[in-house]
Amino acid sequence: MKKVLLLLILFLSLADGLLAEHPIEVQRKAASGDHYEAVLSFEKIPDRKLTPEARIAAAKSYWALGLHTKAKDIFETLSREKQLSATQQAEVEISQAVIEHQEHNYQVAILFAERATKRLQEGPLRSKAWLVWGDSLSALHEYGSAEGKYELALKESHPSHLAEVHFRLGETSVNLGKLYKAKGYYEKVPLDSERIPECMRALAKINLKLKNYEHAAFWLQKGQSEFPDFFLDSWVDYAEVVVAQSKGDLEQVRKLRQKAEKKYPPSDPWLTLLQASAESFEWQENEKVKNNQKAMES
């Protein structure tokens, strides 16, 4: 499919070869998310007229279209050009870092990100380099080092990117066992962020672990109401059982258990844990009743 798309782009660009466009059109279309049109414009422009900015924009558009080899080739060519400014070189290296990270070449991604940070002054572009560096360290399970990079990204981030950095710091804090710190980061993600469903789920999990059952129940209910697709698995049923137990509600625990047993196969690990927890709770509640009866009779 990618080969067909690339051939189609080349064919259309040759057919319209006489209508060569200005390099700024590539940047404009790429920036607006019209990646197909951006690469069409790019292919119509003679190499001698292409600016570094247009090449960078085209490479990003090729990547967005899934034409990764083409994108990597353009970035590799750009990395050897001496006419690039330090900022442009850093932008290329950040893009290369992102590509290598997405292809699971984390050590290579770190090398590109490190080069970019050394070229740049403090600011939003360098924040992106810190971020991808942190992502690659996280992928290598080096969470302590990743946390440091994310903190640098947070310090230099553009306001529009703060939600993503806060989310990454929340994830890393969870992996480091810093649950209160993670909770604070997740709560800083604004409600209009696309990360909110994941944040609500994470906050429910954290509060459950911290035994803040009222808060766990709040995030479970809010998440199920606003983003039901993110709260469909058996962990949610288990969490609801734990919350019901915290209230001493044996009848609700029984109902939740019966509902879960109808939804999930016996091999489901969260169902198994739910059943064990419910059985233990029911036994404890029955023992309380027996002890109270004995106390009343004596």
Q: What is the pLDDT along the chain (298 residues), one digit of tens a residue?
A: 655 555 555 554 544 444 457 888 888 888 888 888 878 888 888 877 778 888 888 888 888 888 888 888 888 888 888 788 999 999 999 999 999 999 999 999 999 999 999 999 999 999 999 999 999 999 999 999 999 999 999 999 999 999 999 999 999 999 999 999 999 999 999 999 999 999 999 999 999 999 999 999 999 999 999 999 999 999 999 999 999 999 999 999 999 999 999 999 999 999 999 999 999 999 998 887 677 666 666 6
- On whether the CB atoms of residues 237 and 263 are closer than 8 A, the answer is yes
Closest to 14 measured CA to CA, from 36, 45, 35:
45
Can you tell me which residue has the tokens 């992106």?
128
Residues 6+ apart with CB under 8 A from 111: none
Give the pLDDT confidence score for residue 117 in this predicted structure.
97
Kindly list the domain boundaries of the chain, sorted by start residue. 1-84
Residue 268, phi then psi, degrees to nearest 5 = -65, 125
| Residue 79, phi-psi category: left (phi > 0), alpha (psi -120 to 50), beta (remainder) | alpha
Q: Calculate the alpha carbon distances from 116 to 70, 89, 110, 128, 190 in Å.
A: 22, 8, 10, 9, 29
Place of tokens 């609500």: 200
Of 103, 59, 61, the closest CA to residue 78 belongs to: 59
pTM over 0.85: no
DSSP secondary structure of 40-86: HHHHHS-GGG--HHHHHHHHHHHHHTT-HHHHHHHHHHHHT-TT--H
pLDDT of residue 19: 46
Structure tokens at 26: 């590539």
